[in-house]
Amino acid sequence: MGIGGSDMYRQQILDHYKNPRNHGELEDATFTHVGENPMCGDTIEMDVVLDDDDEETIEAVAFRGDGCAISQASASMLSERLQGMTIEELEGLDRDDVIDMLGVDISPMRVKCAVLAEKVAQDGAEIYFGEKDLDATSTEDDDVHEE
Ligand code: FES
């Protein structure tokens, strides 16, 4: 799979890849957004339900997609973490948080796989709140260094 790090974390990634958590759709989604890693064409689509009262807390997340183990495991792990998080906390996440969550060394090329789900969730929220106008997220817009 081309990722380094401890066996435990590798096992965890494979487990999330094979048994993705929160996989599917949410009919009552507050917003839905899709994104792609244009280098490979892999996609993640995410549904997010916000708390009815304050619209600041994430109540539920579901995703579906096609892609490598890192992109899909990252979406699965993130879908668990996001529940109970505020929109502000979501917007505060960066690629280091995602890489920490995965717990493995990610090569520069694979960083785009790792951050796809995070970017989809963040862009989806920004579009919903009128802060961004975008049809689909692309990791191409990320300023990741490729070495
Ligand atoms: Fe496509 Fe990882 S190889 S997202």
User: Alpha-carbon distance 9 to 130, whole Å?
Assistant: 37
Task: Provide the token pair at 50.
Answer: 């916000």
Would you state the pLDDT for residue 7? 87
Angle (CA) 22-42-89 rounded to 5° is: 50
Would you state the pLDDT for residue 147? 37
Query: Is the CB of residue 55 less than 8 Å from the CB of residue 30?
Result: yes
Domain chopping of the chain, boundaries:
3-138
Task: Provide the token pair at 27.
Answer: 């009919």
Which string of b and e fits 90-101 if b means at least 16 CB within 10 Å?
Answer: beebebeebbeb
Model pTM score: 0.92
Q: How far, in Å, from the CA of 67 to the mean position of ligand 1? A: 5
Q: Is the CB of 37 under 6 A from ligand 1?
A: yes
Task: Provide the token pair at 37.
Answer: 């890693």
Q: Is the CB of 67 under 6 A from ligand 1?
A: yes
pLDDT < 50 regions, the chain? 144-147
User: Alpha-carbon distance 144 to 112, whole Å?
Assistant: 7
CATH for 3-138, options being 3.30.1360.10, 3.40.50.300, 3.50.50.60, 3.90.1010.10: 3.90.1010.10
Would you state the pLDDT for residue 6? 75
